Amino acid sequence: MNIIGRLRMAWNKILTNIPSEVSDKDKAIDEWFNIYKMKAPWLDYQYRTVDGVLRKRRRLSLNAGKMIVQELNNLVFSEPPTITTDKAVQDILDENNFMPNLTDLSEYTLALGGGALKLRNDGSIKIDFVKANNFVPITWDNVRITEASFIDNRVKGADKYTRVETHRATVGDAGYKGYNITQELYKNDHSVPLSDMFPDLQPLTFVATDVPLFAYIKPAISNNFDPESPLGISFFGNSVDTLEALDIAFDSLKMELVLGKKRIIVPEQMVRYVNDPDTGKRVRYFDPADEVYVALNIDPDDATKIQDNSVELRVTEIKEAIQTLLDILSLQCGFSQGYLAFDGATVKTATEVISDNSRTFKTKVNYEHELETGILQILEAIRSYGSNINLAVSQTEYSVSFQDSVIEDRNTKTTYWMGLYASGLCTITRALQEIYKVTEEEAVKMAQDIKAEKPEIVSFGA
């Protein structure tokens, strides 16, 4: 989509007079967000009863959309990634509670198809964690999005304020490359002075930096909804039909228990008051408030007959249907079949991801690459932005390393590397490095200690 189209998408979040062919492009994110928040359109439905009355009901939800993105996010952040950078940059990350906020943003990113890290100067460098529904790309290339608008909604009293912050690349008066950051404010869909809500913000700020002051992150999935868009799609974007079927099946399980509960048919006169001939007190044979009994006006010949009208529950069949749908969802989202279980007892542990679920592991690693790229881009942006406020940074290369030791099958890995060592295809130092995730110096010391501790040979007499 061209720049004008993307800008119209930004204004569509504020104004209402935008053509439908433009506004429709933004509906997918809203749909994914509603599914994530358990507000899927299929949960509320209408049905007609035998008396012809149209009634409303809300289905129960398994909330598989939330479950699937949370599962991948937990795999990625089972151990926080190691970030190697300058102390000054690390201090900024710590001040912004970077890792916990990134973990939250990552789950939103998987659910909504994207998210952004954005810098701002509030006396010191601050990091904003922006969800996809508040991010609008303007310009991009084959590497990254270079210009964008960010939308911030606020409510003050009965008024709704919307601030639009736009980053556009430009060349300053002295010939320096940089970014113009413009701020616009809208009150109830009408443009108002920025000072009405943000007196400390300037309408226009120039920052001398040759890199964008934001980084866009998306799931490692090609956008088949709009191949020309730089935006990503939800982790469950191609599984919406399966999510709907799961909720219908899960709700059917509950309705099976409700509609299939035990019912005993008794003659209507047995729930009425009668006089006990011995005591003269009014008594009932059955309590009409008990839900298990259903009183019917039956044939006089059956006036004393009590009938058990209970039906056989189809719990097993419905559970099998739910499991089948979970297997389909797993394959659609890049997990291995059987990774998600609904038997109430089977729990897949993290150490099974590589040996039993290599497809799950590949999905995890691919998404880690996207996160790593975004983190490195925002680190470079902090370094570049820091030159404007005399931040002490070096030109050394930054790095991000995700820890996979928690989810790896250690027995399989140990056997693999010791097999290479036994075959003479690697040194004991290299094997120890890979098995224990230590530095070369530490591995050398471990090898020396192992060599020094020769086991004693004990002989036993006949």
Average pLDDT (225-234) is 90
pLDDT band for position 461 (cuts 50, 70, 90):
very low
pLDDT of residue 438: 81
Indicate if the pLDDT at residue 258 is higher than 70: no
pLDDT band for position 458 (cuts 50, 70, 90):
very low
- Rounded Cα distance, 411 and 355, in Å: 10
Average pLDDT (385-396) is 79
- Rounded Cα distance, 151 and 134, in Å: 5
Q: What are phi and psi of 338, to 5 degrees?
A: 90, -5
Q: Which residue has the higher pLDDT, 307 or 33?
A: 33
pLDDT of residue 353: 63
pLDDT of residue 411: 63
Q: Which residue has the higher pLDDT, 343 or 344?
A: 343
pLDDT of residue 159: 87
Indicate if the pLDDT at residue 385 is higher than 80: yes
Question: pTM, whole model, 2 decimals?
Answer: 0.75
- For 101, the enclosing helix (H) or strand (E) is helix 98-112
Question: What is the 3-state composition of the chain as percent helix, strand, coil, each rounded to the nearest 5?
Answer: 40, 20, 40
Which of 217-226, 284-293, 352-361, 436-445 comes out lowest in average pLDDT? 284-293
Average pLDDT (348-362) is 63
Q: Which residue has the higher pLDDT, 124 or 218?
A: 218
Query: Cβ–Cβ contacts within 10 Å for residue 97, how many?
Result: 12
For 32-91, how does the pLDDT look when each residue is reduced to its tens digit (9 = 90+)? 999 999 999 999 988 776 566 788 889 888 899 999 999 999 989 988 899 999 888 999
Looking at the DSSP bridge assignments, the partners of residue 401 are 82
Across the chain, what does the average pLDDT equal?
Answer: 80
pLDDT band for position 318 (cuts 50, 70, 90):
confident
For 105-159, how does the pLDDT look when each residue is reduced to its tens digit (9 = 90+)? 999 999 999 999 999 988 889 999 999 999 999 899 888 999 999 999 888 888 8
Indicate if the pLDDT at residue 457 is higher than 60: no
Residues 187 and 204 sit within 8 Å (Cβ to Cβ): no
pLDDT of residue 46: 87
pLDDT of residue 462: 41
Residues 431 and 420 sit within 8 Å (Cβ to Cβ): yes
